[in-house]
Each structure stands twice: as C-alpha cells, then as structure tokens.
Chain A
Amino acid sequence: MKNQIKVLRAGYDWSQAELADRIGVARQTIIALEAGKYAPSLPLAFKLSKLFGKPVEEIFIPESTD
C-alpha cells in the first residue's frame, strides 16, 4: 500500500522521530510505513489522518494487489 506520509511529514518539516513521538510509535514504524512495507492498523491510520488533517483515503492509496 502506497502512502503520502513522507510528503506530508516533509510539509510540516518534522523528522521521522518527531512524527513517531507525535503518534506514539517507534521510529522504525515510521520507516516501515514510509517505505510501504507495513500497512498500519485502523487506529494508527486515523491518528495519522487527524494529525495531518486529511482523510485516510488521501493518505493511503491501495495498490491493485491490495
């Protein structure tokens, strides 16, 4: 699953560690999310959505195989 987390994070000028602290996860989770290697749980997706002020479907873009 692709996502816009890296772009949105850059827009706020946050480091990966800063974003991790804001949503209460480890930096490794942010790295995995940005690399598209990990699909987050619904609560985490909604936390990101609330933090960036964008709907979930704008942050996460499913691929044809998802």
Chain B
Amino acid sequence: MTNTVNPTTPARRRFRVEAGLLLAVITVVIAITIFWPWHGTNERWRNIVPPLVIMLALFRFARIRHCSEGLSSTNPTARAGRRYHADIAIFITASTAISLFWIFHGNRGHWTIVDALLSVIPFVFFFVAAVRYTLRTDELNRKIIVESSAIAGGATALIALMYSFLERAGYPKPHAQWAYFTFMISFAIAALFFRRRYK
C-alpha cells in the first residue's frame, strides 16, 4: 500500500486562510465605511477607497483560488474553473475602471445615457464567463448550475410579481437592479441546497 500525501491539501489550507482573510478585510472595510469620521475629508475618497480595497482583496482571492486549482492536475473541471476565475478578474477590473470613471466623470449632459450603459460591459463579461464555465464544467456541476438557475429564475419572477402587487398597495418602487440581486441571492441559496442534495 502506498503512503502518499495529497498535494492539494496545503493549497486547500492556504485557500481557507485566504478566504478567512478576505472576509476579515471586507468586514473591516465595511466597518470603516460606516464608522470612520469622513466629514471634513474629501467625501470622494469615501466612494473610492472602500470599493477599491474590496476589489484588491477579491483579486488576491481569485489568484489564490487559481493557484490552488492549478495543483489539482489536468482535470477539465479545474481548467474550466481556472478560465472562469481569469474571466472574473477581467470582470472585476472592468467594474473598477468603470466605477472610477463614473465617480469622476459621471453625469456629462447628453452623454449620461452612454456613461450609464458603460456599466453593462463588465456584466456582459460576467455573463459570458458564467456561460462558458457552465458549458465546460463537468456534468454534475452543470446539472447543479442549471437546476439552481431555473429555481432562481422562477423565484425572481415570483418575487417581482408579488412586489408589483405590494407596489399597488403603496410600497415604494425599488430600483430595477434589485431583480439582478434577487436572482443572484436565489441562485446562491438554490445552489447550496442542490450541492447538499448530491453530497
């Protein structure tokens, strides 16, 4: 019987430490954003520094995730994951660039619509990355993603319909972006449920 050490164990341990650090950084940044005495300083920094720190932390996280999967040989699922994280890095870069552009140069008269639509570009990257990952990953993972998407789509439609009735009853009109966040949250919950189901 061979006595081998799993080569992915140190990478996993490192990944867990990095994930913990990422959570800690995000928590600290949110706390600073809320409690720091921003008054008296340039308010613009409040809009730039916290998202920038979170973006950098996410970059670091994506890189570590990339490295940890790199150790698990030539598995096509790991390759799809590596490609997905590279795409997500592009998504984060584009989001940061457009957010900074928006903060410094937003609301430029008749160019406002163009500026506003620029924000869609990173999400197109994200969408393409997600579709590519779904097509290239292994069959169980694909099944989980497809089932979770179906549940999330249905839940989003149901919540939107329900809220439209509440609006008639005098509830405030939410921002259209809430549909996206509702879908993402529903997807995360459904994916968690399906992953547990197949364990």
Give the contacts of B134-150 with A (CB-CB under 8 A): 137-141
CA distance A40 to B138 in the complex (A): 11
List of B residues within 8 angstroms of A44 by Cβ = 139
Chain B CB within 8 A of A37 CB: yes
A21 and B198 within 8 A (CB): no
List of A residues within 8 angstroms of B2 by Cβ = 13
Categorize the interface residue count of chain A. Answer: 10 to 19
Known: A13-B2, A21-B72, A38-B198. 11 other contacts (CB 8 A): A15-B6, A17-B6, A21-B73, A21-B74, A24-B75, A25-B139, A26-B77, A26-B141, A28-B195, A32-B140, A32-B199
Closest to A18 in B: B73
Complex partner residue of B139 from A13, A31, A37, A41, CB under 8 angstroms: A41
CA distance A22 to B189 in the complex (A): 31
Chain A CB within 8 A of B8 CB: yes
List of A residues within 8 angstroms of B139 by Cβ = 25, 29, 40-41, 44
B75 and A32 within 8 A (CB): no
Closest to B138 in A: A25
Q: A32-B199, A38-B198 are in contact. Are A20 and B140 (CB under 8 A)?
A: no
Complex interface bits, A5-28 against B, C-beta within 8 A gives 1, otherwise 0: 000000001010100110011101
Chain A CB within 8 A of B76 CB: yes
Complex interface bits, B111-149 against A, C-beta within 8 A gives 1, otherwise 0: 000000000000000000000000001111100000000
